[in-house]
A and B are shown apart, each in its own frame.
Chain A
C-alpha cells in the first residue's frame, strides 16, 4: 500500500520535474532486448513479404520489368541533364549544393502508445545528435525528425505522427501542401490550392519551405484527392514511402538544423 503510494508520488515528481535519469536507465536496460526483437520482427516481415511476393510472383515480375524499362530511360536522360547542369554551373560560376552529412543509426523500438508515432534510435547526444535533426532512410525517403535526445538514444517523431507537419510538393508538378499523419497508416496532405493539379499516384517530396527538412526527400504517394464544394483548399491522402517496421536502418542528417 505505502510502496504503491510512494511509487505514484515518484512518478508525479518525474512528470513535474523531468525523469531523464529514470528514462535513461530504463532505456539502457530495455534497448538490447527491444533492438533484438525489432531485428526479429524485421526478419519476419521480410519473410512474409517474400511469401506474398512469391504468390503474386509473375504479375509482380512483369510490373517490375516495365518499371525497370522506364527507369533505364530516365537514368539516360538524367546523365545528360547532370552533365548539362554541371556545364551551366561552371559557366555561371555557381557552386554545387553541399552534400548532407549523414550519421547511421538503427531503430531499437517503436512507440507502445498507438496514438502517437515515434521510434527510438541507438544514437544520442554523445554521437552528435540534436533535437530537430531530420532522419531519413536509405533511398532519400523521409522518416521523421529527432524530437528528444538522451546520451545514447534519440526519439524520432515519425512522418506518420499527427503532430509532425511537413511542407511538401508534388515531385512532378510542384503542387504544394502541408502533410501530417492520419488514421489507417496514411498521411494527410492539407492546404492544397483548390485548382492546383494533383492526381493519384503522384510522388510527394519535401519542399524545404518549413526549414526543418531538406528539399526533395520522398515522403509518400498520393492515394486519394478530396475536394469539397465550398472549401478554399483541398486535401489528399498519401501512402507513406517510409514503411516503419520493415526499415530499421536510418540516417540522421546532422548538418541541417536551421
Chain B
C-alpha cells in the first residue's frame, strides 16, 4: 500500500511540477527513478513488474501517448535492470548512478520503439536530450535517496 501511494504521488509530481521544469525536451521521470531505487535497495526485478505497471498505467492516463507506452516501457526497464544487476553488484551505493543512467537510456529507447510500433507520433531522440534526461534522473535519484526513510525502507 505504501508503494502504491508513493507511485501515485510520483505520477502526480511527474505530470505537474516536474513537467513544468522541462529542459531540452527532458524532465525528471520520478516514477522511473523511484522504481530504480526500490530495485537497487531491495528488489527483485520480477517483484517490481506489478508496481511498474501500476505507475505506468497512471502515467499512461495522464499522457497523450497511446495507452501502454509507459506501463510496458517501465516493465521492460525492470527486466533490463535484472540483467544489469548481473554485471554491476548492488553493494556499492555509487553504482546507483550507473543503474539510473542505464535505466533512463533503456526506458527512452523502449518508449521510442513503442511509439514507433503504435505509429502514434514522430519522436526524435537527440544526444543532448538523452544526456539531459540522464542528468535529470541522476539528480532526482539523489533527491529521492535523501528521502529513503519514507519511500524506500
Please report A residues at the B interface, Cβ cutoff 8 Å. 1, 3-5, 7-8, 11-12, 14-15, 18-19, 22-23, 26-27, 29-30, 33-34, 37-38, 40-41, 45, 109-118, 120, 147-148, 155, 157, 161-163, 183-185, 244-245
Contacts and interface: CB of A to CB of B under 8 A. Distances in A.
Interface of B is mostly: helix
B58 interface: yes
A120 B62 contact: yes
Given A4-B46, A8-B75, A113 B63 contact: yes
Interface in B1-15: 8, 11-15
Contacts of A113: 59, 63-65, 69-70, 111
B16 A41 contact: yes
B26 interface: yes
Contacts of A111: 15, 19, 62-65
A82 B123 CA distance: 46
Contacts of B24: 183-184
B84 interface: no
Given A8-B75, A113-B64, 6 more contacts: A34-B62, A37-B13, A111-B15, A113-B70, A114-B129, A115-B65
A15 B111 contact: no
9 contacts: A4-B49, A7-B53, A8-B72, A12-B68, A12-B72, A15-B118, A120-B62, A148-B64, A183-B126
B68 A23 contact: no
A19 B24 CA distance: 31
Size class of the B contact interface (CB-based, 8 Å): 35 or more
Contacts of B25: 114-115, 183-184
B15 A1 contact: no
Contacts of B20: 41, 45, 110, 244-245
* Central interface residue in B16, B50, B124, by most chain A CB within 10 Å: B16
Given A30-B11, A34-B62, A109 B50 contact: no
B131 interface: no
Interface string B113-124: 001001001111
A204 B62 CA distance: 30
B67 interface: yes
A30 B13 contact: no
Nearest to B73: A113
Given A4-B50, A22-B67, A27 B61 contact: yes
